[in-house]
Amino acid sequence: MLDSILKNLRVISLPTKTDFRGIDTREVALIEGSAGWGEFSPFLEYDQNELIPWLVSAIEGATQPRAKATRKYIDINATLPEVNTRAEVESILSWYPGATTVKIKVGSDQGKDMARIKYVHEVLPNAALRLDVNGSWDVEQALEFIYGFYDSFDEDLLQYIEQPCATLAELRELKSSCMVPVKIAGDEIIRKAEDPFDLELEDAVDILILKVAPLGGIERSLALAKHHRLPVVVSSALESAVGIGHGIRLAGALPTLDFACGLATGQLLASDIANIPIEGGKMRVADVTPSEALMIELEASAERTQWWQDRVRKTWSVGADEIISEMGWHW
């Protein structure tokens, strides 16, 4: 199977519109198999052990039949990187027509974070707000921020805080010591866990963030949702339209979905290999087919392709091979 993967692998370099996670191009490896396209796109700095589920997910996408859709449309949220002027906030929010939920990146500077939230609230006064902290606060900082938020804004405005602190113990302490109601969504705690099934989330996490690639694919994400019995939000890792297509497929297949999903991050890319329309804050549950012309236009150099082939080879040999043979998947 490894030979088939390497033979069918294309590396695409997607320019971003804003500096998101400190990068201005997003490199992804796409693999075409019998069932369509899979995406292998762990960020460049990720360490080897983290890459296995990403490759398993890409192989699932390329070789396995589609999960059955239970809905036709999914609501999406706007995703706002850590920009600091009102003009930037306004411009970025306009990329998500009809969205009534905004996920705001915060955590590096409380003053700037509050200003960013205020701009969002001015531009979209009725939008539900989510704050994504990527685990960077300790419990005390989280409490201070939450109380500061409630001093300035209506408490109904805050839908949840995504990963305010890094560890499960801190999340639990935060929930028990917070004097105001606050919902916590778990992202890194799930996708960076050695075994995301073996986590005791009670009194720590209220909402599960599911990302197809770091969780090892759509079927495994569906199993995780079932296992933890929590409301879920399907989100992305700034993938190309192919990876987003798998997120849409997961969101489409979940038995219940009560929250808007973070699958509109393609709006943060200046070019992509397919267009996934957003209308009235929704995306349609449909297959995504990359455009051959755009793939040629955005193809990375031979050196970068070689680098990704080596990355796949390594990831395969340190454990992905065993998982694939256990799953009984064939090319």
Q: Which region, judged by CB under 5 A, interacts with Mg ion, from 13-21, 34-42, 180-188, 277-285?
A: 180-188
Q: How far is the CB of 131 from Mg ion (least distance, A)?
A: 10
Closest to Mg ion by CB, 102 or 320: 102
Helix or strand or coil: residue 29? strand
- Binding residues for Mg ion, rule CB under 5 A, total 3
Residue 76: name the closest of 201, 271, 291, 235 by CA. 235
Position closest to Mg ion via CB: 187
Q: Which region, judged by CB under 5 A, interacts with Mg ion, from 8-16, 76-84, 185-193, 300-308?
A: 185-193
Distance CA 120, CA 93 (A): 8
Instruction: Output the CA angle 327-329-331, nearest 5 degrees.
Output: 160
Q: How many residues does the chain have?
A: 331
Q: Which region, judged by CB under 5 A, interacts with Mg ion, from 11-19, 62-70, 130-138, 248-256?
A: 130-138
Closest to Mg ion by CB, 192 or 284: 192
Closest to Mg ion by CB, 107 or 245: 107
Catalytic residue among 103, 175, 211, 282: 211
Question: Which one of residues 39, 132, 170, 206 is an interface residue with Mg ion (CB under 5 A)?
Answer: 132
Q: Which region, judged by CB under 5 A, interacts with Mg ion, from 27-35, 103-111, 182-190, 198-206?
A: 182-190
Q: How far is the CB of 112 from Mg ion (least distance, A)?
A: 18
Closest to Mg ion by CB, 82 or 162: 162
Catalytic residue among 105, 118, 175, 314: 105
Residue 76: name the closest of 257, 270, 218 by CA. 257
Q: Is 183 among the residues known to form the active site?
A: no
Closest to Mg ion by CB, 159 or 305: 159
Q: Which residue has the tokens 């109904």?
A: 156
Q: Which region, judged by CB under 5 A, interacts with Mg ion, from 12-20, 96-104, 115-123, 125-133?
A: 125-133
Q: How far is the CB of 194 from Mg ion (least distance, A)?
A: 19
Q: Per-residue string for binding with Mg ion, 150-169, x by CB under 5 A?
A: ------------x-------
Closest to Mg ion by CB, 182 or 320: 182
Tokens of 48: 């080897």
Instruction: Output the CA angle 46-224-232, nearest 5 degrees.
Output: 90
Q: How far is the CB of 325 from Mg ion (least distance, A)?
A: 32
Closest to Mg ion by CB, 237 or 298: 237
Q: Is 314 among the residues known to form the active site?
A: no
Alpha carbon separation from 169 to 53, 57, 84, 103, 201 (Å, rounded) = 25, 29, 32, 24, 10
**What are the contacts of 141-144 at 24+ separation with CB within 8 A?**
142/174, 143/174, 143/177, 143/178, 144/110
Handedness of CA 314, 315, 320, 322 (dihedral sign): positive
Alpha helices (runs of H) in the chain, residue ranges in sequence order: 2-7, 51-63, 86-93, 110-123, 139-152, 168-177, 188-191, 218-228, 241-253, 292-297, 302-315, 321-327
Question: Which one of residues 39, 60, 82, 187 is an interface residue with Mg ion (CB under 5 A)?
Answer: 187
Interface with Mg ion includes 82 (CB under 5 A)?
no
Distance CA 304, CA 118 (A): 41
Chain residues in the site for Mg ion (CB under 5 A)? 132, 162, 187
- The catalytic residues are 105, 211
